[in-house]
Structure 1
């Protein structure tokens, strides 16, 4: 990448790939509650700091981590199933977009191909975006797929596939992420990365080109308004 990190908003990508949970949809709180319910259902107590460890993980990886964290690895399958069941119930009852998500997506979809790269099951991503009125703005939804060897974040696969489906080389695409797991995946795939939310206190946060507090940050919306029509982005 030749463009310096501090001028990300002077750069015109040829595609934008969004994470879903915690970036477009306010569903991280649902995952946290689902984890708590799954632990309680099995008479277990979540360890201190577990929410931070679990953020951004694929739900199967999270279920395994839950089991290991309470020293009961044999319960991984049960906890994974309970986690997904509780999350689906919560997200169906209360789908909420993150502040600024709808406005930014609508602005960008008129200018660039958009995709979603998520660790969630496809039914969750598509259902959440459909209920939020955003699904039609995305050309592609990419989720882990063992059959096609698309591994979950922090592996780079979902971002690499999403960029290429959009018809661009990864370094010409921008990823929008809220978690270090996702930032790592997008960076390793070769995309430039915009981190959204509070910048984590971790060296891995530097893998993002820029962190902004929210999707409705004035400088981000101004950047979206300034982008050229499809096909005119500079090299």
Structure 2
């Protein structure tokens, strides 16, 4: 008996937008270690369950949560700075792709425009993707920005508001805008509930990847798979996804923010 194809995998998007940390790159473990080291630097220890609470949270918000979790709000700035410094050091030494990420990106990039929408520092995303041999596969990398986006040139669209971090929808909305597709015709690929919420709020369909949340709440993802090397997912990319290949040399970046994806 043939197993029915999930509706999401019977659909061909016009663009795919990937999260970075924990989805393309195996760097969530670096954030966990960076948090542990930051707490240790101040003689503190993370309370039980903090790792799940902090997953996918922008690093500045994570620093605040860290300080609040140990009832030391006066350490917010110091913990935040220590967290980011630890993470940058760890990820620079060990950028590793998630299982299936290279093959899936290669398959999709031959058919569709791809983008990355991340809460991670831009320089980390760019360097990690480059070292993994994936940067050229993506037209755009979008991260949070603390300043308004510039107009698109003479006679272009007026300046927009700052690109806010997930769970705000901004990074996904900006990514699909740059790819030139409507949000409902794009697919987001995410590993965290924070990211799923962001993509959903931007109007994208969402593929969740990795371990399902402990409470079973998939946050509105259309489908959840254990990894990017899921056989059904790769078959979908090989046989069901259609569309024009993106122009070579058209990659770019948008947003200038920092934090975990």
So what's the TM-score if we normalise by structure 1? 0.94
1:201 offset after TM fit, Å? 3.9
Q: Name the structure with the higher helix share.
A: 1
1:230 offset after TM fit, Å? 1.6
- Gaps spanning 5+ residues in structure 2: where? 149-161, 246-261
Q: Secondary structure at the match of 1:141?
A: strand
CA contact (8 A) 1:6 1:209 kept: no
The answer as to 2:245 corresponding to 1:223 is no
1:20 offset after TM fit, Å? 0.1
The answer as to 2:221 corresponding to 1:208 is yes
Over the aligned positions, Cα root-mean-square deviation in angstroms equals 1.3
Q: 5 Å matches for 1:93-132?
A: 93-132=93-132
Equivalent in the alignment of 1:182: 195
Q: Hey, what's the Cα distance between the residues in 1 that align with 2:190 and 2:215?
A: 15
Corresponding residue to 2:165 among 138, 152, 168: 152
The answer as to 2:69 corresponding to 1:56 is no
Equivalent in the alignment of 2:154: none
Q: CA-to-partner distance for each residue in 1:105-126, whole Å, 9 max, x for gaps?
A: 0110100000000001101111
Equivalent in the alignment of 2:153: none
CA contact (8 A) 1:184 1:204 kept: no
CA contact (8 A) 2:9 2:233 kept: yes
Q: Hey, what's the Cα distance between the residues in 1 that align with 2:220 and 2:51?
A: 22
